[in-house]
Structure 1
Amino acid sequence: MLTIAFSTLRTRVMSFAGTFLALSLGAALIAAMGQVLATTAGSPERGPQRYASAPVVVVPDGRLKVEGRLGETSAPLAEPRGLPESLTGRFPGAVEDRVFAARLAGGPAAVGRPWSASRVAPQRLLRGDAPAGAQEIVVGGGARVGSRVRVVTAEGAKPYTVVGVTSAPGAVFFSDAEAARLSPRVDALALWLPAQEVRAAVGSAARVLTGQDRALVDPTREDDEEARDNANTIVGIAAGFALFIAVFVVSSTFAFAAARRRREFALLRSVGATPGQVRGMLYGEAAIVALPAAVPGAVAGPFLTGPILDWLAGLGMAPDWLVPSTAVWPSAVACATGVVVALSGVAFAAGRAGRVRPAEAMREVAVERRAMTWGRWAVGATVAGTALVSMALTAVSGPAEATNNKSFVPIVMLLVVGAGILAPALVRPLTRLPAALLGGLRGAGGTLVPAAAAASPRQTAAVAAPVLIAVGLAAALLGGAAMTDATKAAVQAAPVRADYLVLPTGSAGLDRELVEHLRALPGVDVAVTAPTSVYTLEGGAVLVQRPAEAVDPARLPAVLDAPLTAGSFSDLGDDGIIVSGTAWKTRLGATVKVWRADGSETSLKVVGVLGDGAQADSYLTQAHARSAPATTAYVKLRPGTSPATARAALERAVSGHNARAVTKADWKAETGEQRDSASRLGLLVVLGIILAYAAIALVNTSLMAASGRAAERGALRLLGATRGQVLRYAAGEALLVVAIGVVLAAGVAAVGLAGLWASLRQLAEPIAVGLPWPPVVAVAGGCALLGVLASIGPAMRWPR
């Protein structure tokens, strides 16, 4: 049967060209994605940056360690704690480094440090002199020597004179005395002593870092780790979709080809071939196509690693210093996966081919008598039913899960697969409307086009399947992302009573001087929140970090509607805490033992319990915030206060403090746009893969369908049809098939978005169901263009 398989491949090159391209593209993508994963997981750590010139660095232990009933348990501290005073004076000649919030008003992001710390990293003074007085600074950019600038620190905005410019970007250097005044905490000691001597002197009071470990305290480390995680997530999702679409495309192509070859299979059965031999022939064809397709794709894939990493780095979703991996396993896995995908994709077609009876296909006419088998009905109904049941369960039992793409995307994929399997049963009903509309047109084309599509529902469904994939997933995924982001923004904004919000323009938070100015404004109520953390010992064994908000309990209720099910903010003092009943699993009046963000231990009384929809996991007074800065100021207008007057006062207050005042409506819109921008990045990667596969499948199935219509078009020529009429007939049929695919895609998107809406409406105010029409229309138009070109190409080769 392998000899016959080779022979059939030689005579059906066009039939398998799309399968070859799909497998090759899939292998290339899997190899490239695997290489990216190998790079992000195995790339050497970035070398030390902040303390590159200091061989030994002493830093505080950044972990909270607690003895539980099963031994020691630990967690990273949310707020840094400085080195103990017993260490700071122990090493003569050591550089005491302090790192604190400091940024030029309106300037680039930066941190403040003492000038003595300028020698712990390779940098030099480009112009000017070192700071000597309390009002002198050296900057890494954003100002010139001699200029008078305002510098915003945690205490407020003060004028300083720029006396020098250094090559260190993102730093504002103060005199050592001024830095110590602004930030008394010592964050690190940089030493030029033997490491063993330092370790012996420090003991367990702090950590001693040498070599690569010095990079652990670099400011970019957390961002780098987050970027690595983002890259891994996007690549993993893209690889999963590549596998899913590859199997779908290959299986639909082989099923289409097998359906067109029933007479061939019947002939083989009539000359003695067993069902197993017929199935073996199809598996042999798949293997013969898969290996030559997978090998070049697996070899070429790793060459895409560099461009993919550069693209992700440009989007801020991967570190820009990663070195592409040279591992071999991604190519090997991609090659093996390509063969497995081909064999998996042909399984259904091989099963059907093995059931063909010797005389069955010989009696068949051009019109398909059965659009669907009972087995196909069962599989399609099961897949679609699973998607519908999943949507119903989410809406009933866990609507919050609907905001997670990990739950919504699989449902959409099941809907697409179910619609693709059931499509032949829907083709004839879908062609009735076009038949009614076109039947009155002049000429026979209006009758022939829908009749031809209805006469071969399985073929029509096979050609429409790529359109279903491309348009359906584009509409459902992009529309679902927009709805989910809008819901999250609405949930976040719902409890806010404030008319305005004051937000920092960077990551340093709001300075204390600005907060006092805001509180002193007439005609408004102002409450600020500072994010912090507390730690609890769960089950007496595991230390758990819990997010918390440090607030002024007397001011907060006026600007924020926290959903309390028990207790009151008026009872919240320095010895109390308000917690989420669901997350904390405690009751009103209970006493909980917690550790603050800096590791200090205390016991607090539960004076309030939060219900569902709360913005925070817990609330504390600002006495527990320690060094955490305020990040949001809520401003509520009192009755009779003019909005214009209040807005002008807010603008004056925030001027020069690296902060901005926005209305609640603008803040809600910005929050939604930020989420939408972030979620679209991953979806665009996925949709790019989907569209590439869909284009290959659409062209391939259209060419296969068109080449099989040679006799039909020849008959049209014999009946007097001109060349132009034949081409218009071919184009009309292609457009009708694409339209059927678009209708099926619209149904899938409508069902998926309706199920998502049913869940989201329980979380927030009614969410409008909107489609991103420009990209969806563009995808549909591209499918129509490809379908027409692939259909009229073979028709143009018919003799005149």
Structure 2
Amino acid sequence: MLGLAFATMRRRLPSLVGSVLALLFAAVLVTACGVLMETGLRAQIRPERYGAAPVVVAGPQSTSILKKEDGPIEVTESVPLEEPTTIPASLAADLAKVSGVREVVPDLTFPVGLLDADGRAVHGSVYGHGWESARLTPYTLRAGRAPASPDEIVLDAVLADAARLKVGTTARVLGRDGLRAYTVAGIAGSGSGVARQPAVFFSAPRAAELFGHQGRVSAFGVFGSGDPERLKDRIDAALPRSENATGRVSLGLKGGRKGGDAPAAAGPVTYAGDERGFAEEPRSSAARETLVVLSGSLGGIAVMVAAFVVAGTFGLALRQRGREIALLRAIGATPAQVRSMIGKEALLIGAVASAAGVPAGVAAGRWMFGELVSKGMIPDAFPLTVGPVPMLVAVALGTATAWLSARGAVRRATRIRPTEALGEAAAEPRALGRVRAVTGLIFLTLGTALCGLSMFMTGETAAMSAGGIVILLTVAAALLGPWLVRVAVALVGGALGRASRVGGYLAVANTRTGARSLAAVVSPLTLMLAFAGTTVFTQSTIGHATERQAAEGMRADYVVSSAGPGVPADAARAVRALPGVAGVTEVIDTRVIGHFDELGEPTLRPYGALGLTVPAHGLDLDVRAGSLDRLRGDAGKTVALSTLAAGSFGASVGDRVRLRLGDGTPITPTVVAVYDRGLGFGDVALPYDLVRAHTASGMADRLLVVGDGSVRSRLATVSRGLTVTDRAGAKADRDAAAELNDWVNLLALGLIIVFIAISVVNTLVMATAGRVREFALLRLVGGTRRQVLGVIRWEALLVGGVALVVGTAIAVPTLAAVSYGLTGSAIPHVRPAVLASMVAATLGLAFAATLLPARAALAGRPADRVRG
């Protein structure tokens, strides 16, 4: 049958274009997602700061839930940490005892700012260290000497050139205790260069003060004899830890029971070889997580959409070949032979089309990665990894999807008798297959039930159910498509017939008899509208609620921020002392990780968080219960939660919750307040001193200042090196951050929507091009070209209208669930102009992709078309 398959394919090349294009674009998406995922899983960062240290021991970069019952320990969930972690300084003695270790060098790493004469930061990211750790790179003096007193520093040569500083000149450095003047005692450089983290070196006592974590260090560089990998293994064996080698902090499960009462203690992580780059790049773990999660979710959606579209495309193509398959059966071909022929065709088409899409997929993956880097979502040091695995997976998935779709589509044609197959080739059956009908009703029931259940859920659980609702209802609509088309005809058929006695009447009659074929056209249109509507209006609902809450809650007249590491405490004290200032609130933006049980399983969930000084001036979080004034202390005993987070925790005022701070430190604070404006400001509020002690900079991100009109000019006198904006400027900064977040979400999902739109056009063109004989017959029985086009226009209107109704019926409950879960209101924020453009795009695609190929099909003599 392989020869027959080739022969038939050569005669049907135009009809294969649709299937080829669907598979090609699916391969592009899968390959692009695979490139991002492989980068997240396999990428290595070339070590710079720790380039001379064979082995590095540092803190973990993520926190995990570890499960152990009868077998080995299993990581069930992992979340990256926001802040750099530290390890005990006393660990040096234990490391020194390990066989083969010659020297252990501690490193203190903390962000600082080097300012020029105008108060501007000389470099975006500058880090301070003690001079004793310079050999970890190694840095060597090019001029001057090492710092001998607290007011002396050694500058990285790159920084010194940028700031035009020389040995003996004065440099101004911003650290956690404020802006200080230092004498440049020396200029140092490294042979390999440190582009990511240019350094300022302090004396050991001064570095410890600026580091701010007494008795702890950022990392140890370990020098020893022999192979670094073996030395790493010996260190691993000598250090008892509760996390695995990937640098995860565990939330242990006691006694084999899920959801332990307390998190296990954190321990150090050992790095060697290229892994050392992750030890010096605090954002590397979060970047890897971002790539894996983004590519995984996008890839999963891409595979689902591809399977949906490809199955519909092959089904339509095989229905158009009904007469050919029926004739093969009639002249003696067995069902197995027909299935073998169709399967081999699909394998060939799938392999060729998928392979053709791989180069474009690699290019798309490179472009997406570059955009993520340019927007600051991925560190510049993170390299792109392109290997053969994503390409092979894309080809394998495309080929398998094509084969399964073709075998499924030809199943009925090979199970019935040849005479019945010939009859169905002339007129498709009106009855929907039993298996298809039952499966469609099951998906419809599940989608409806999930939609109803989500309205009774609280917190993010309701919002996260949106994807499941769309998938279930869309699949149900595809399976039950012929019923939907017939229902639509029953409702509007009379009106169409009266509106146009020729075109409308024929369109209705054709739709009744060809409901199965038209359903294949309606399905991708429905998917496009439901998916696009859910994606865009979910984003607009969240964005509108966030903007509204931020605008209503921001009561500060001025905001003081820094382009460097932060706003030091002495600046806050100076602002509070200014005449006309009614109040100042110091704010730290961070992220914490909640630990709670969801549906009986232990779950980790990151939350945006604030560290606040109280009473909170210039900030109204809309407290619904309790009081923010009780948010005090640095012992981790109090917390305020948004209504969204409180719903996820199942907590109210007086309850205790389990959290991990930005550096992984576990706390179990008592809820002292519940507020409503979590989207605008963050879902968790903690005491300022507590958060400050667990951040790298130890400084505020901004000051909220309440004061009269004279305060603006006075702020300039005490905020040297800082930026002062009014309420409008603060709103502009928030809008810029929101646009970045929207861009990340819409970039990934926009590619899916474009793929669906291409598939819609592809399916419509195939469906219309396959009706050449039908159009020619209408011409032969007396219909004019204009009348035939009129029939097609009415059919396109009917198809587009059904897609609009069904797509809206899917999107509306989904959006209601998202809106209710996140804002407490079941009414989403829908922008009329965007909705109108979606309706116009749906109808425009239906008309354009139908009428253009129809005009081509009507070209030539009708008699020749009928014979062809």
Q: TM-score, length-normalised on structure 2?
A: 0.71
Matched position secondary structure for 1:458: helix
2:126 matched to 1:110? yes
Cα distance in structure 2, aligned partners of 1:425 and 1:64: 50
Cα distance in structure 2, aligned partners of 1:657 and 1:607: 34
Q: Which position in structure 2 is the counterpart of 1:684? A: 750
The Cα offsets for residues 605-624 of structure 1, whole Å up to 9 and x where unpaired, read as 95847589875657457268
Cα distance in structure 2, aligned partners of 1:691 and 1:109: 43
The sequence identity of aligned pairs, in percent, is 23
Matched position secondary structure for 1:397: coil
2:707 matched to 1:635? no
Q: Which position in structure 2 is the counterpart of 1:626? A: 693
Q: Which position in structure 2 is the counterpart of 1:419? A: 477
Residues 35 and 365 in structure 2, CA contact (< 8 A), matched pair in contact too: no
Cα distance in structure 1, aligned partners of 2:16 and 2:592: 61
Cα distance in structure 2, aligned partners of 1:289 and 1:52: 55
What are the within-5 Å matches in structure 2 for residues 516-665 of structure 1?
A: 516-521=573-578, 522-530=580-588, 554-556=614-616, 559-561=619-621, 563=623, 569-570=629-630, 577-579=637-639, 608=672, 619-620=686-687, 622=689, 625-626=692-693, 628=695, 629-633=698-702, 635=704, 637=706, 642=708, 644-645=709-710, 654=719, 656-657=721-722, 662=727
Q: Which position in structure 1 is the counterpart of 2:47? A: 48
Q: Which position in structure 2 is the counterpart of 1:514? A: 571
Residues 478 and 683 in structure 1, CA contact (< 8 A), matched pair in contact too: no
What are the within-5 Å matches in structure 2 for residues 429-468 of structure 1?
A: 430=488, 436=495, 448=506, 452-453=510-511, 456-468=514-526
Q: Which position in structure 2 is the counterpart of 1:711? A: 776
2:141 matched to 1:138? no
State the shift of 1:559 in Å. 4.0
Residues 534 and 594 in structure 1, CA contact (< 8 A), matched pair in contact too: yes
Cα distance in structure 2, aligned partners of 1:503 and 1:645: 15
Residues 323 and 426 in structure 2, CA contact (< 8 A), matched pair in contact too: no
Q: Which position in structure 2 is the counterpart of 1:699? A: 765
Matched position secondary structure for 1:50: coil
Identify if the C-alpha distance between structure 1 residues 161 and 697 changes in structure 2 by more than 3 Å, giving closer, same or farther: farther
Cα distance in structure 2, aligned partners of 1:729 and 1:560: 61
State the shift of 1:715 in Å. 2.0
Cα distance in structure 1, aligned partners of 2:42 and 2:339: 37
What are the within-5 Å matches in structure 2 for residues 308-327 of structure 1?
A: 308-314=364-370, 315-316=372-373, 322=383, 324=385, 326-327=387-388
Cα distance in structure 1, aligned partners of 2:442 and 2:732: 45
Residues 45 and 277 in structure 2, CA contact (< 8 A), matched pair in contact too: no
2:802 matched to 1:796? no
Identify if the C-alpha distance between structure 1 residues 80 and 416 changes in structure 2 by more than 3 Å, giving closer, same or farther: same
Gaps in structure 2 of 5+ consecutive residues: 241-266
State the shift of 1:516 in Å. 1.5
Q: Which position in structure 2 is the counterpart of 1:252? A: 312
Identify if the C-alpha distance between structure 1 residues 28 and 651 changes in structure 2 by more than 3 Å, giving closer, same or farther: same
2:137 matched to 1:121? yes
Residues 576 and 583 in structure 2, CA contact (< 8 A), matched pair in contact too: yes
Residues 39 and 291 in structure 2, CA contact (< 8 A), matched pair in contact too: no
What amino acid is the match of 1:711?
A: A
State the shift of 1:102 in Å. 1.2
Identify if the C-alpha distance between structure 1 residues 553 and 657 changes in structure 2 by more than 3 Å, giving closer, same or farther: closer
Matched position secondary structure for 1:51: coil
Q: Which position in structure 1 is the counterpart of 2:451? A: 391
State the shift of 1:128 in Å. 10
What amino acid is the match of 1:248?
A: F
What amino acid is the match of 2:850?
A: G
Q: Which position in structure 2 is the counterpart of 1:151? A: 173
Residues 621 and 675 in structure 2, CA contact (< 8 A), matched pair in contact too: no
State the shift of 1:394 in Å. 0.8
Cα distance in structure 2, aligned partners of 1:62 and 1:296: 43
Cα distance in structure 1, aligned partners of 2:792 and 2:594: 70
Q: Which position in structure 2 is the counterpart of 1:99? A: 109
Residues 575 and 581 in structure 2, CA contact (< 8 A), matched pair in contact too: no
2:770 matched to 1:770? no
State the shift of 1:50 in Å. 0.6
Matched position secondary structure for 1:151: strand
Residues 468 and 744 in structure 1, CA contact (< 8 A), matched pair in contact too: yes
Identify if the C-alpha distance between structure 1 residues 544 and 691 changes in structure 2 by more than 3 Å, giving closer, same or farther: closer
Cα distance in structure 1, aligned partners of 2:325 and 2:660: 74
Q: Which position in structure 2 is the counterpart of 1:675? A: 741
State the shift of 1:154 in Å. 1.4
What amino acid is the match of 1:18?
A: G
Matched position secondary structure for 1:227: helix
Identify if the C-alpha distance between structure 1 residues 241 and 507 changes in structure 2 by more than 3 Å, giving closer, same or farther: farther
Cα distance in structure 2, aligned partners of 1:390 and 1:594: 30
Cα distance in structure 2, aligned partners of 1:69 and 1:371: 53
State the shift of 1:111 in Å. 1.8
State the shift of 1:546 in Å. 9.9
State the shift of 1:173 in Å. 2.2
What are the within-5 Å matches in structure 2 for residues 130-279 of structure 1?
A: 134=151, 138=155, 140-141=158-159, 142-145=162-165, 150-158=172-180, 168-169=194-195, 170-174=197-201, 176=203, 179=207, 182-183=210-211, 187=218, 211-212=272-273, 215=276, 218-220=279-281, 222-260=282-320, 277-278=334-335
The Cα offsets for residues 421-449 of structure 1, whole Å up to 9 and x where unpaired, read as 333344466567698589668x9556655
Cα distance in structure 2, aligned partners of 1:369 and 1:73: 53
Identify if the C-alpha distance between structure 1 residues 571 and 187 changes in structure 2 by more than 3 Å, giving closer, same or farther: closer
State the shift of 1:29 in Å. 4.7
What amino acid is the match of 2:810?
A: V
Q: CA RMSD in A?
A: 5.6
Q: Which position in structure 2 is the counterpart of 1:499? A: 556
Q: Which position in structure 1 is the counterpart of 2:848? A: 785
State the shift of 1:393 in Å. 0.6
2:488 matched to 1:472? no
Gaps in structure 1 of 5+ consecutive residues: none
Residues 503 and 631 in structure 1, CA contact (< 8 A), matched pair in contact too: no
Identify if the C-alpha distance between structure 1 residues 172 and 464 changes in structure 2 by more than 3 Å, giving closer, same or farther: same
Q: Which position in structure 2 is the counterpart of 1:745? A: 807
The Cα offsets for residues 749-773 of structure 1, whole Å up to 9 and x where unpaired, read as 34433443344441x7965223745
Matched position secondary structure for 1:313: helix
What amino acid is the match of 2:574?
A: H
Cα distance in structure 1, aligned partners of 2:677 and 2:147: 51
Cα distance in structure 1, aligned partners of 2:110 and 2:482: 66
Cα distance in structure 1, aligned partners of 2:751 and 2:551: 30
Q: Which position in structure 2 is the counterpart of 1:15? A: 15
Cα distance in structure 1, aligned partners of 2:712 and 2:497: 61
Deviates more, 1:185-194 or 1:420-429: 185-194
Q: TM-score, length-normalised on structure 1?
A: 0.76
Residues 511 and 630 in structure 1, CA contact (< 8 A), matched pair in contact too: yes
Residues 22 and 693 in structure 1, CA contact (< 8 A), matched pair in contact too: yes
The Cα offsets for residues 496-544 of structure 1, whole Å up to 9 and x where unpaired, read as 46435747456833311222233334342223244789999999xx999
Identify if the C-alpha distance between structure 1 residues 549 and 97 changes in structure 2 by more than 3 Å, giving closer, same or farther: same
Residues 582 and 611 in structure 1, CA contact (< 8 A), matched pair in contact too: no
Cα distance in structure 2, aligned partners of 1:594 and 1:587: 15
Residues 19 and 313 in structure 2, CA contact (< 8 A), matched pair in contact too: yes
Aligned to 1:292, which of 334, 348, 353?
348
Residues 584 and 617 in structure 2, CA contact (< 8 A), matched pair in contact too: no
Residues 730 and 795 in structure 1, CA contact (< 8 A), matched pair in contact too: no
What amino acid is the match of 1:515?
A: A
What amino acid is the match of 2:296?
A: G
Residues 120 and 190 in structure 1, CA contact (< 8 A), matched pair in contact too: yes
What amino acid is the match of 1:768?
A: H
